[in-house]
Structure 1
Amino acid sequence: MDGLPRQVMAEIQRLERTRSYLFPGAVVRAVLRWQEYAREPARRRWAYDSDADPHGECCGDPLYERERLAGVEQALSRRAARALRAVLAEADARWDR
C-alpha cells in the first residue's frame, strides 16, 4: 500500500493472520474501499441499510470498512497506527466536510 513503510505493512500482515475478524489483504481492501467511497460525489446519499446496500455484496460496506480500520488502528503499535492514520487522513477529511 502506498505511503506505508515495509515494517508497518509487515505488522498489518501479522494482524491479518492472527485476528479472526481479518483475512489476508483485508486492511488494504478496506483502505481502498474507504478512499474510493470518500471521493464519490454522492457519498452522503449512500444508505447505511443492508436492504438498500448497493455495494455490500460485491464491494463491501464503506462505513463498516472504516469501522474495521479503526479497530485495526487500535490493535497496531503507536507508530504503525500513526502511519495508517496518515494514509487515511485525506479520505477522512473528505468525509468530515
Structure 2
Amino acid sequence: MAELRRIERRKNYLWPGSIEAAFIRWRSFVHQPNRRLWDHTQAGCTEWACCGDPTEARDFLEAAMLSMSRRHARELRPLIKALDDDY
C-alpha cells in the first residue's frame, strides 16, 4: 500500500486513492452482466466517482503496475489478470 501511495503522489494524473478506486471500478465493471454493452463512443457522465470509465481505470492499473517494484507488481498482477480473463 505504501508503494501505491508513493506512485499516486509522483504521477500527476493520479490522486490519493485513485489506484484503489480504479481497481474497484474495473472489478465492478467486469462483474456486471451487461459489461459487453459498454459503448466507448458515449462519453456519459464525466464524474469519475460516479460513472468512471472502466477502460481508464484499467489503464490506471497498468500504469501503476509498470511503476511498481517487480516484487509488488507480482502481487498485484494476478489479481488484475484474473479480472482481465473474466472480461
Say yes or no: TM over 0.5.
yes
Between Structure 1 and Structure 2, how many residues are aligned?
85
Poorly superposed stretches of 4+, deviation over 2 Å: none
**TM-score when scaled to structure 2?**
0.88
Q: What secondary structure does 1:72 align onto?
A: helix
2:7 aligns with 15
Superposition deviation, residue 20 in structure 1: 0.3
Correspondence 1:16-95 to 2 at 5 A: 16-51=8-43, 53=44, 56-57=46-47, 58-95=50-87
Q: What secondary structure does 1:32 align onto?
A: helix
Structure 2 residues without counterparts, runs of 5 or longer: none
**TM-score when scaled to structure 1?**
0.79
Superposition deviation, residue 56 in structure 1: 4.1
Structure 1 residues without counterparts, runs of 5 or longer: 1-8
1:3 aligns with none
